[in-house]
A and B are shown apart, each in its own frame.
With several copies, the nearest count.
Chain A
Amino acid sequence: MSVELEPQGIEWDHLDTVARAAETPHQQQPYEELGLREDEYERIREVLGRRPTESELAMYSIMWSEHCSYKSSKVHLSKFQDLAPSSDRLLAGIGENAGVVKITDELAVTFKVESHNHPSFIEPYQGAATGVGGIVRDILAMGARPVAVMDPLRVGAADHPDTARVLTGVVAGIGGYGNALGLPNIGGEVVFDPCYQGNPLVNALCLGVLPVDRLQNKAATGPGNLVVLMGALTGRDGIGGVSVLASAGFDQEAAIQRPSVQVGDPFMEKLLIEACLELYEAGLVVGVQDLGGAGLTCALSETAAAAGTGMEIALERVPLREPSMAPHEILASESQERMLLIVAPEHLEAVLAVAEKWGVPATAIGTVTDTGILRVTWHGHAVAELPPSSLADDGPVYARPIREPADLPLLQADRAETLPRPTTGEQLRETVLRLAASPNLCDRTWITEQFDRYVRGNTVAAMPENAGVIRLDERTRVGVALSVDGNSRYTRLDPYTGAQLALAEAYRNVAVSGAVPVAVTNCLNFGSPEDPHVMWQFAEAVRGLAEGCAQLGIPVTGGNVSFYNATGPVAINPTPIVGVLGVLEDVATRIPMGFSHPGDVIILVGETREELSGSEWAWVTHGHLGGSPPAVDLAAEQRLATLIRAARDLDLLRSAHDLSEGGLAQALVEACLRHGYGATVALPEDAPGGPFGFLFSESAGRALVSVPLGREKAFAAQCEEHQVPWTPLGVVAGADAPLTVTGQFEIDLAELRTAWSSTLPKLFDQLTARPE
């Protein structure tokens, strides 16, 4: 369905062509309004040997934006590759649309997390929905079938009126798009913090599966091959949207002169997925690239640059939703649900037939050339003529100034370990209940019930389990486990350690599920790179993550950077989100998180130190953020991971749950409530920080396990062998029996469940009146 419409009311003599640009070298151009610096504009003129046309200026301004060019982060991100541990599993890594990890000789998976923060503040539903759509197309572009999504979210204070607007909209949007696309949601995070009040974080992760030999790439090779645009019609959606919003200081005002909001069409995306997979299977495409931020401009320049070829594009052949669109608008449009295909001429008919079968518009809009020049014409007039690599690869690169925040020493000196603490059993009891009911630790069901976790029939574990587990092969039952984590309070106190703690937690969540961690993805959400303090946080976090991955021997396979996240003038807490992927030879051996058999022995593995700074307790009960985050010991995390798998293989484990925010107290609460069994535990006499410290410290490298009665000695022997400290705590009690901490307190399970599960409904239930 190729509708060629003569643009109405285009005054041809106003069209800025290459010829005209050459004739009028001194014409003023609005490069600053488009976010380009003067020296960047000069460089463009050098590259072209003339002033850019209106279309070229638009193309450079988007491609050289922070979002597309990574100009501030490049010099740091290189650490991921420099320090990358060698892995024979990695089939594609950083630089591709998403990293690809070999699971068996036949099967590979690809996964990546990306941000859609700023659009989600302006229009939460559509912002989140198109965020899911965007990452799904990245996965699709690798040749994979998308099979699951996850959604790490950060929003403002739970009781702030605007938080209801953002959270309910974002959750509805993620569900509205993901559910309609037929992708199970298998996990995520929701964290409330005032620092995100004017700038929520909506990160989305997608997992895809592909036969090893179906791996696709984006290179537009083979001069003479055709360039085919497949998917939704092109409209004025978010012109300069992602790039401008994610690249300029963002605030309420910016929202006023917003680009037109991108609206997602999951139905079209579903058809696009099926059509692409059919094309891959039939071997009908030479190259493929998704259209995301920077739309056609990005897809054209990246595919040509990757192959070192050129292109001849007839822009008027692009099917438009709005006939009056000008060339630079078509090039910049961020309309969703579109893919770019490179197709051999003899296969065009077959490709169009597949598109037709699925009811997806597809049109040949140009050809690959050997000129090394991307030439774009509009009804015969050349509106752009440039080297694609100058857009895709040779953008500006900045080593931004870096300075440690002046307030950091003071902040770190203000330790939570010195805060007044509960002492009596009664006070401890109240604290357990208060934390369990706190917005960051309470039951997520109100949110996760809005997501389909079953579709496609391969979900072996999902919320609220430690990690999502997906079966890849029904016959062999091989599968993967995935977890996404991040704690921005830790990172605020110490970005290097904070990033490693995020890595450690995701690694631990995957490990306690029984999987072998093999690969990492990440989304780095930070403030303005023009602020030296933010840039220092960024550099430290990247260093911490890169060195941590090197030590754990698992490579970073891809990710995304989101700068300019701030509420008013104040940057958000630095928020690196880390996703870890693990392999399960047989998903039937995954380890559940909850207590399930009365009489099972409850054991805490790992070392507990008195570490309360940055903790959920300090935040909830004192609104306190200060001191140094818990120490990281990645070697200990590895020993814990090995222990858990060894014990699992010997049938010594009934359940395992990682300890994180809220410490042992919260882990007990979650393990009890998962299947409705109580527990009777006693705290060790010599506990560091006393009963309180033992319950609420957030020391890393720990897990709460339950062991069948009679197997505890065998388990202890395993702990010895793997040099992991262990502390027997007690036993799993009966169904609906209370949670008892001997000599301290007892909490009726019903009371505990009510406290844990009423928070989100109370906050958000009736506040969803706006009709959809």
Chain B
Amino acid sequence: MARVVVDVMLKPEILDPQGQAVANALPRLGVTGVTSVRIGRRIELEFTEPPEPETVRQLADRLLANPVIEDYTVSFVSDEEPAGEPA
């Protein structure tokens, strides 16, 4: 088992209407001091065994991300370490 996470975000210069709508809503929840919100996709893949980095890159390029408007980063997560402290 190997876990791969592909994070896909709109390129910085591309309009992110979602992020904007959320940013505009924050004050109503009493949250201030937020200068930018960007919303992308997190894609978690489980492989039977660790894949070739190149395979994953190609996958991201051709299917998971839309290189015309999106950037992505690939991270190979070892099963121990969690992606962030769970809430």
Query: Do residues A263 and B15 form an inter-chain contact, with CB atoms below 8 A?
Result: yes
- Whether A335 contacts B15 in the complex (CB less than 8 A), given A324-B86, A771-B22, A771-B43, comes out as yes
Give the contacting residue for A265; candidates B13, B15, B24; CB below 8 A. B15
The answer for the CA separation of A274 and B44 in the assembled complex, in Å, is 31
Does the CB pair A267–B13 fall under 8 Å?
Answer: no
Chief secondary structure at chain B's binding surface: mixed
Q: Is B34 an interface residue (CB 8 A)?
A: no
B34 to chain A, nearest CB (A): 13
Instruction: List, in ascending order, chain A residues with CB within 8 A of B22's CB.
Output: 769, 771
Q: What's the minimum C-beta distance from A678 to chain B, rounded to whole angstroms? A: 38
Is A123 in contact with B15, judged by CB distance below 8 angstroms?
no
A321–B15 CA distance with the chains assembled, in angstroms: 8
Cβ contact within 8 Å between B66 and A770: yes
Q: Mark B1-26, 1 if CB is under 8 A from A, else 0.
A: 00000001011011111101110110
8 Å CB interface, A122-152 against B = 122-123, 126
Task: Give the shortest distance, in Å, between B15 (CB) and chain A (any CB).
Answer: 4
Q: Is the CB of B25 within 8 A of A769?
A: yes
B39 to nearest A CB, angstroms? Answer: 5
Q: For chain A, what secondary structure do more than half of its interface residues adopt (helix, strand, loop), or is it mixed?
A: loop
A192-200, A229-237, A527-535, A728-736: which lies at the interface: A229-237
Interface status of B63 (Cβ within 8 A of chain A): yes
Question: Are the C-beta atoms of A771 and B41 separated by less than 8 Å?
Answer: yes
Q: Do B63 and A261 touch (CB < 8 A)?
A: no
Q: B64 on the interface (CB 8 Å rule)?
A: yes
Closest residue of chain B to A322 (Cβ to Cβ) is: B86
Q: Tally chain B residues at the interface, Cβ within 8 Å.
A: 23
Best-surrounded residue of B10, B13, B22, B41 (most CB of chain A within 10 A): B13
Could you say which interface size class chain A belongs to? Answer: 20 to 34
Whole-angstrom CA separation of A516 from B11 in the bound complex: 50
Is A261 a contact of B64 with CB atoms below 8 Å?
no
Would you call B25 and A261 a contact (CB within 8 A)? no
Residues of A within 8 A of B11 (CB): 260
Question: Would you call B69 an interface residue if the criterion is a C-beta within 8 Å of the partner chain's C-beta atoms?
Answer: yes
User: Is A267's CB under 8 angstroms from B14's CB?
Assistant: no
Taking the complex as formed, is B68 at the interface, i.e. its CB lies under 8 A from any CB of chain A?
yes
A768 at the interface (CB under 8 A from B): yes
* Distance (whole angstroms) from the CB of B20 to the closest CB of chain A: 8
Q: Are A771 and B18 in contact, with the CB atoms below 8 A? A: yes
Q: With A766-B24, A771-B22 in contact, do A123 and B69 touch (Cβ < 8 Å)?
A: yes
The answer on a CB contact under 8 Å between B13 and A770 is: no
Contact between chains at A235 and B17 (CB < 8 Å) = no
Residue A359 lies at the interface, judged by CB distance under 8 Å to chain B: yes
Interface string of A341-369 (1 = CB under 8 A from B): 00000000000000000010000000000
8 closest A-B pairs by CB: A769-B25, A265-B17, A263-B15, A769-B21, A123-B68, A236-B13, A322-B86, A771-B18
Residues of chain A touching chain B, judged by Cβ–Cβ distance below 8 Å, are 122-123, 126, 232, 235-237, 258, 260-263, 265, 267-268, 321-324, 335-336, 359, 766-771
A-B contact list, 24 entries, CB within 8 Å: A122-B68, A123-B66, A123-B68, A123-B69, A126-B69, A232-B15, A235-B15, A236-B13, A261-B68, A262-B15, A263-B14, A263-B15, A267-B17, A267-B21, A323-B86, A335-B15, A359-B24, A766-B24, A768-B21, A769-B63, A770-B66, A771-B18, A771-B39, A771-B64
